[in-house]
Chain A
Amino acid sequence: MMRASHRHPGFVAALLHRLSGLALAMFLPLHFLALGLALNGAAPLDAFLAVTRHPVVKAAEWGLVVALATHMTLGLRVLAIEFLPWRDRTAATVTSCLGAAFLVGLLLLLNGA
């Protein structure tokens, strides 16, 4: 499915970084709008949050937290390659980044998100 020249860790990292960034960019205005509801007191915010108890929404929230963690860890890898005299062992580094991101996701899942 993936082009042969793309089947290596560096490209997977770049693709995940880009897709997670897109998801976060689209989500952020909604996030800010929802939080802004607090200006009108607790009631409107609670009414809105009732919607978020739906399992599909909860799953999406979890996905967004994992997207945030993924975007951050892969972004730190880019910063390390660009600004530190660091030659990464690409496969191991990318795996570690994604592992850390999923650890965040796991912690959220196990702690009654």
Chain B
Amino acid sequence: MTAASADKLAVEVWRGGATGRFQTFHVARSANQTVLDVVTNIQREQDATLAYRFACRVGMCGSCAMTVNGRPRWTCRTRVAAALASATALRLEPLRNFTVVRDLAVDMRAFFDKWQAAKGHFEPAAQPPDDFAIVPPTSSQRQAADAGIECIGCGICHSACDVVTWNPDYLGPAALNRAWTLVNDVRDQGNAARMDAVSAGSGCHLCHTHMNCTEFCPKGLAPTYAIAGLKRAMVARALGRAP
């Protein structure tokens, strides 16, 4: 990696698509700067052709996710000092396991297609129920759903997952985590199809508990345990009991 001088940070940025090269920029250091500050500076002050994504800037939308020095991170919530650790330069790449659109922007469609394939959407009954569902917040099912419900679909877990890298058909931690929240939603009526989807060839049983997803989720979620729940449900179903 190219060394930085005392007041300038060296930043190696991926340019291109699936093939391309790293281009080095130098950005003035400032106290508490985030990686988003750095990449925005490059695009606005040095090279307007750089493609990257952000929206809220405050860690709520997940749009700014990319690979920073080998780790999938939200750039708005990653301080340069923390990302660098003992490295001398910042290295910015698009998220692994996604098709690159250009530079640091990736195509999220396959990610959301897997969400649908895992039946990660609420399935209402054909007829509305007679009365409101009673869902005690302290019930074990609601607690299981609540543990995973804050996912905003940023794609970091999918990017971190080795099984997705090795087997691109694998539904992945985000889709399976969402499926688990719905399995635990007592109002949902779509569990038969959902369990079929997550028990199929590309389903939950492919997870090897590497726990990259849990390690890197910026919301502190633990897809590993959601997927474990799906595995138990899959086994119970196979042995003839209700999921």
Contact = CB atoms under 8 A, between A and B. Distances in A.
Query: Is any CB of A less than 8 Å from a CB of B in the complex?
Result: yes
Interface of A: 3-6, 8, 10-11, 13-14, 18, 78, 81-83, 87, 90
Given A4-B69, A82-B232, A14 B208 contact: yes
Contacts of B224: 10, 81
21 contacts: A4-B70, A4-B71, A5-B70, A5-B71, A5-B72, A5-B160, A5-B212, A5-B216, A6-B162, A8-B211, A10-B210, A10-B211, A10-B214, A11-B212, A13-B209, A14-B208, A14-B210, A81-B209, A82-B209, A82-B232, A87-B225
Range, interface on chain B: 20 to 34
B146 interface: no
* A5, A83, A87 pick with most chain B CB within 10 angstroms: A5
Given A5-B216, A82-B228, A87-B225, A10 B209 contact: yes
Chain A interface SS verdict (over half): helix
A43 B228 CA distance: 51
Contacts of B162: 6, 11
A81 B216 contact: no
Nearest to B214: A10
B123 interface: no
